[in-house]
Amino acid sequence: MIQDNRFRLVRAATLALSEPLSVEDYVVQSMPDASPAKWHLAHTTWFFEEFVLQHAVPGYKFYDEQFRYLFNSYYNTIGPMHSRPLRGLLSRPTVEQVLAYRARIDERMQVLLQRDDLSPEILSVIALGLNHEQQHQELLLTDLKHLFSCNPLLPAYVREAASHPSRSSPALSFKSFDGGLIEIGHAGNGFSFDNELPRHRTYTQPFRLANRAVTNGEYLEFVRAGGYENPVHWLSEGWTVVGREDWKRPIYWSASLDAEFTLTGLRELSPSSPVCHLSYYEADAFAHWAGARLPTEAEWELAANEAPLRGNFVENRRWHPEPAASATAASKSASPLLQMFGDVWEWTQSAYAPYPGFKQASGALGEYNGKFMVNQLVLRGGSCATPASHIRASYRNFFNAAARWQFTGLRLAEDISWAAPNFSGGSRKAATPSV
């Protein structure tokens, strides 16, 4: 019955996130990387029908054969699919029909979950489907935020949110780690995606990691210092993107640099809150300007194992990253590391690649992660839009280096031999590299 209860909770959470929407909000697609809300509701339902019900129910008949084409995302093994950039053209099936589809598949799944003869393989796929849906809950919010930001009225997803603390963030400091031969990857207790496996040994040099995420105020110094105008801070490809896309500041910041668009509408820029919606290029450029670097994913995981798994997640209904609490207020733990989980996904400098010994599953589900292990960077820690039960220290998120619409930020790292980063009102300059 545990699976049945979790199934109900996860599916209900998706519908709860959809409640503030009007019918018109469900259908529009703001860019090729995003999907309409209606599509998210249908695709997460398609997953259970395609990968669970047809294999677990003898003689299973699909709800609608056309849905197998419309709501397949990228599983080429299953068959053709509707073009991702054109999902916003699907005015039919209607929102009402998609909700009816969800309700019917939920009924069928709940009947299935009453059985006591389900194979370990089927139970494993159900667990995967629920975690897949939680990923889409976050994508639903980030896609809606991008959609609303394209509207000149700047509508809010929700007007009322829990009160936002006005506290200042703790001073930036660094914790030292000896490094050495360590183990990373999922330890084997509970669910994990295949990209977190196998657990393996790796080596890290001694390093230091910042006690919290970089704030809006710190990033504002970079912007005002001409950070988007000086190629010395940027990777070559990043500098090309800055020029081509005319980037001058984070995607949701106002031109006046005193406000940012959020899921609760336009609000005053909070200097103490973590900066978010940064691409990898922007995160790396800031770290370079600050005289530091991004951590590797092995460094991040080593540090995260010392931090409590709690933070500002979607269940908090804050809808935006918040300033770090002081170590005393946040925890009685001796760890000075704050915001390791929740608030913002943190870019690492690690390429998204298979772990040593990684084995891609056979069949269509082998396409879930493995085929994306190229031209992506790893992010860690979850965000304010991530379900709390979805995250863990070994979780590997990944996006391409130019992606900006997720709740992505950064935490600084440095080699033990480096001087601590210094923010001085935009006067800091990186040395010009020799060529």
**Model confidence over 200-238: pLDDT tens digits?**
999 999 999 999 999 999 999 999 999 999 999 999 999
| pLDDT beyond 60 at 427 | no
Rounded to an integer, what distance in angstroms lies between the CA atom of residue 409 and that of residue 355? 24
Provide the 8-state DSSP code for 369.
Answer: S
How does DSSP assign 94-107, residue by residue? -HHHHHHHHHHHHH
Tokens of 393: 């220290």
- The pLDDT-based confidence of 422 (bands split at 50, 70, 90) is low
Give the pairing of strands 345-351 and 265-268. unpaired
The average confidence (pLDDT) of the chain is 93
Q: What's the pLDDT score for residue 73?
A: 96
Q: Whole-angstrom distance between the N-terminal and C-terminal Cα of the chain?
A: 64
Rounded to an integer, what distance in angstroms lies between the CA atom of residue 144 and that of residue 36? 8
Q: What's the pLDDT score for residue 424?
A: 58
| pLDDT beyond 50 at 170 | yes
Render pLDDT for 232-266 as a digit per residue (tens, 0 to 9).
999 999 999 999 999 999 999 999 999 999 999 99
Q: What's the pLDDT score for residue 354?
A: 97
Q: Please check whether residue 323 is in contact with residue 163, taking contact to mean a CB–CB distance below 8 angstroms.
A: no
Q: Please check whether residue 174 is in contact with residue 420, taking contact to mean a CB–CB distance below 8 angstroms.
A: yes
Q: Crossing angle, helix 37-48 and helix 2-18, to 10 degrees?
A: 160
Q: What's the pLDDT score for residue 378?
A: 98
| pLDDT beyond 80 at 165 | no
Render pLDDT for 98-125 as a digit per residue (tens, 0 to 9).
999 999 999 999 999 999 999 999 999 9
Q: Which of 183, 218, 182, 204 is nearest to 416 (CA)?
A: 204
Single-letter code of the amino acid located at 72? N
SS (H, E, C) 116-141: CCCCHHHHHHHHHHHHHHHHHHHHHH
Alpha carbon 275 to chain centroid distance?
14
- The pLDDT-based confidence of 167 (bands split at 50, 70, 90) is confident
Which pTM value belongs to this model? 0.94
Rounded to an integer, what distance in angstroms lies between the CA atom of residue 85 and that of residue 413? 37
Task: Report the share of the chain in percent with pLDDT over 70.
Answer: 92
Residue 276 backbone zone (phi > 0: left; psi -120 to 50: alpha; other: beta): beta
Q: What's the pLDDT score for residue 325?
A: 87
Tokens of 257: 């640099």
Q: Please check whether residue 36 is in contact with residue 26, taking contact to mean a CB–CB distance below 8 angstroms.
A: yes
Q: What number is the average pLDDT over the span 154-179?
A: 84
Render pLDDT for 130-148 as a digit per residue (tens, 0 to 9).
999 999 999 999 999 999 9
Q: Cα separations (Å) of 227 from 102, 248, 271, 424?
A: 47, 9, 18, 14
Q: What's the pLDDT score for residue 432?
A: 32
> In the block, which residue shows the tokens 């919290």?
212
| pLDDT beyond 50 at 387 | yes
- The pLDDT-based confidence of 433 (bands split at 50, 70, 90) is very low
